[in-house]
Structure 1
Amino acid sequence: MSIVHPRAVAVATLVCLVTSMGTAVAAPDRPAVVAPPPSTAALVQQAERIVAAGVPGVVVETRDERGRRTVVAGTGDLRTNRAPRADGRFRIGSVTKSFTATVVLSLVAEGRVDLDAPVTSYLPGVLPYPELISVRELLQHRSGLFDYGTVLWADPELVARSRFTDHEPAELVGIATREPLAPAPGDAFGYSNTDYVLLGMLVERVTGHDYADELERRVLRPADLRDTYVSGHVPGLPRPAMRGYEAVGSPARLTDLTVYNMSVAPASGDIVSTTADVNRFYTALLGGRLLPDRLLREMQQALPAFPGFDYGLGLGRTELCGQEVWGHVGGVPGYGTYSFTDPAGGRQVTVVVNQGLTQDGAAEDAAYALVALELCGVPSAG
């Protein structure tokens, strides 16, 4: 369920990653060094390494001193064996959470939501617990709520069988609230998609409008994201789109799950976008165009989450080659997304692969190697 994997998000552990030129990327504990961005050929070679590690296809967009660049590798459609299109749409998975957090914080800016108020102030009767969970704790995954996704997407076969199942947010929250809170609210980080389903419900209750309409008004139009939308109950993707696959069955074979009803992940993983739009979003967000400075600072008050990775309000932070970088990752049926930005250095990268929940760890490592290659650059020899 748009899951962030503890092993995968520890980008800071991916030090001494070897580039196509055979030069190691600087380790995070070294002083920050401005190294030239990689060549396009180096990006292509690293994208090809991701494909070699087992995923069908890859699309990458970077933004740096060399300008905006896109590279592709592998195939975007196993039926035709065509390369992925650089402008193809895909499901961004948990990167959706950064968008949802931005919508909620824009309501905070208007005085319509209090970060430290209990969510039951806005959604009375939705949670059965005596303990109070604040809006901030939902945003920061410190609510203690069970992740319903571990039930609905317990294995690849179930994921594939459920592709046309329709869900409502209250149903998903109901699955989660069969379980006790663990740990207690505020005690520790515990990644749960239930948190963001509740935040989507909160947006709709406070505004009286659909979450998709509020996202359009508060994020998509201000950031000029023309190829981004909430898929909701509509299972298909408009063309152009990279087709998405998962390894299903025994023996496992790649199964096309492009068509998928993402009502299973409302406000937590149901946005469709492009690499260009995802980069535009983080540029607008971290550049202060979507939120007042004080609330962007709140968003960036990150606490320890996974080893080497802290989590703020819908936004993750790690360190690469002495630089603080921000972003999110996501995995849903058919797609895995890695998007990180170095605001200080002006570098940005979004990588999407068309295999999300069943991709091999080697493919994840290769994707993070590409992130590090772009954000750290290529130190000169000697």
Structure 2
Amino acid sequence: MKRLLATLILALIVSPAPVMAQADPTPPRTVAVLEGPLAAQIDQGLTAAMANGFGGAVVLQVDGRTVLQAGYGYADRERRVPFTAETSAQIGSITKTFTALAVSQLAAEGRLDLEAPVRTWLPGAAEPAASASLHQLMTHTAGLADYCGDDFEPRTRDQLLTQCMALPLAHEPGRSVYSNMGLSIAAAVVESVSGQSWPEYLRDHVWTPFGMTGTGWTFPTPAPGGHAVGYLDDVSQGVISDRIAALDGADWNLRGNGGLQASAADMARFHAGLMASPEAVRTLMLQPHADGDSPGVKEGYGLFFRVDDAGRPWRVGHGGSDGVFFSYLALYPRTGAVLYFVGNNGEAPVRDQLRAVLALIEADPGVRGPTD
């Protein structure tokens, strides 16, 4: 997902005149589950944040049960639609976790080799990226540039393979440097190996079997819980799937690396589906595979691993943002606790709320687990 400035400029070019959101002294709060003191503390903080424009949802599971599932504020301020845990909202770069799961499924089935160069499945793809392995793409160690144009710059699959993959390496291979383009190439491999489009593969092998009814790339019919609108400085930025659909398939600057929408409840279903996946898939997805770009961080496939001084993971997750929405999926392997959090009123204010939520739950040993 690209820089905030690019998002703002593009919104001014392709969107209708912005609609200013109206102030609301009593924004809605929709609570499905609220159990225990930790959930009550989180709920209290997010309820207070609504006065400053927070709109979003949270799901927290501890000890195998859901203790908080709630929505706060508006998913659509103009229409006064409340945000609920079933509202579909942009997950940003957590899209990469889905692409990595697709690759891991195909690898576990023996249909691809994670260490083989991607030209194996993408004949005619340009060097130097064609020599990268899927392992390198998913751990951001292929040396690729981050972007090959802005999110909504039209980019066909053929252009990805011939023009973007021909870009000079930006870094020495082996070093972890984040690359959105790398996960788009991985999505192209999924298509080649499976014989399905990337969203069709995810629909048939992830969303439907996991029971994720509000997750998608584009939506021929509305999501059951509706779609969240994004806001920057109280100005509507619209719904991302509408802009993706307008690209009419030339969406390869986003495909595989960002732009999916899912509800908070669906992200809890995603975790349940992942944990119920075959052991070979879980082994690939739930262990680190390379050193990260900073101390205490390891690279996984579509996930980042926070590790202690002994190298043991204590938090596993991925965040996503386009500057408008901010989302975060966190798994706590020592206790099995799970958090999903999303907000629609700009990265900076939502990130502040997330930090407050993480501070509360990570002070609770029932979530983080032992620290020694």
Common fold, TM-score beyond 0.5? Answer: yes
**1:105-160 CA deviation, whole Å, 9 max, x = no partner?**
111112211111011111122223288211100111111111226x415xxxxxxx
Aligned to 2:59: 61
Residue 226 (structure 1) aligned with residue 213 (structure 2): yes
Name the CA distance, whole Å, in 2 between partners of 1:311 and 1:288.
22
TM-score, normalising length from structure 1? 0.74
Q: Is the 8 A contact 2:319 2:326 kept in 1?
A: yes
Q: CA shift at 1:242, angstroms?
A: 4.4
Residue 359 (structure 1) aligned with residue 347 (structure 2): yes
Aligned to 1:168: 156
Name the CA distance, whole Å, in 2 between partners of 1:244 and 1:330.
16
User: Which stretches in structure 1 are left out of the alignment for 5+ residues?
Assistant: 5-35, 154-161
State the AA in 2 paired with 1:316.
F
Question: Stretches of 4+ moved more than 4 A in 1?
Answer: 49-52, 172-175, 234-237, 319-323
Could you tell me which of 224, 229, 235 is aligned with 1:244? Answer: 229
Aligned to 2:25: none
Cα gap change, 1:266/1:131 in structure 2, threshold over 3 Å: closer, same or farther? closer
**1:33-90 CA deviation, whole Å, 9 max, x = no partner?**
xxx97433211123246556x6541211111148322123232222144431221111
Aligned to 2:291: 303
User: Which stretches in structure 2 are left out of the alignment for 5+ residues?
Assistant: 5-34, 245-250, 367-372
* 3-state SS, counterpart of residue 221 of structure 1: helix
Correspondences of 1:86-125 after superposition (within 5 Å): 86-125=85-124
Cα gap change, 1:210/1:169 in structure 2, threshold over 3 Å: closer, same or farther? same
Q: Which stretch of the first structure deviates more once superposed, 259-268 or 96-105?
A: 259-268
Q: Name the structure, 1 or 2, with higher relative contact order (CA <8 Å, separation 6+).
A: 1
Pairs aligned (count): 325
State the AA in 2 paired with 1:314.
G
Aligned to 1:271: 260
Cα RMSD between the aligned structures?
A: 3.3
Name the CA distance, whole Å, in 1 between partners of 2:236 and 2:119.
41
Q: Is the 8 A contact 2:129 2:144 kept in 1?
A: no
Q: Is the 8 A contact 1:196 1:268 kept in 2?
A: yes
Name the CA distance, whole Å, in 2 between partners of 1:211 and 1:261.
18
* 3-state SS, counterpart of residue 306 of structure 2: strand
Q: Is the 8 A contact 1:95 1:329 kept in 2?
A: yes
Name the CA distance, whole Å, in 2 between partners of 1:372 and 1:280.
24
Q: Is the 8 A contact 1:334 1:354 kept in 2?
A: yes
Percent identity between matched residues is: 26
TM-score, normalising length from structure 2? 0.76
Aligned to 2:237: 256
Cα gap change, 1:220/1:240 in structure 2, threshold over 3 Å: closer, same or farther? closer
State the AA in 2 paired with 1:63.
Q
Name the CA distance, whole Å, in 2 between partners of 1:3 and 1:113.
33
Residue 340 (structure 1) aligned with residue 330 (structure 2): yes
Q: Is the 8 A contact 2:95 2:258 kept in 1?
A: yes
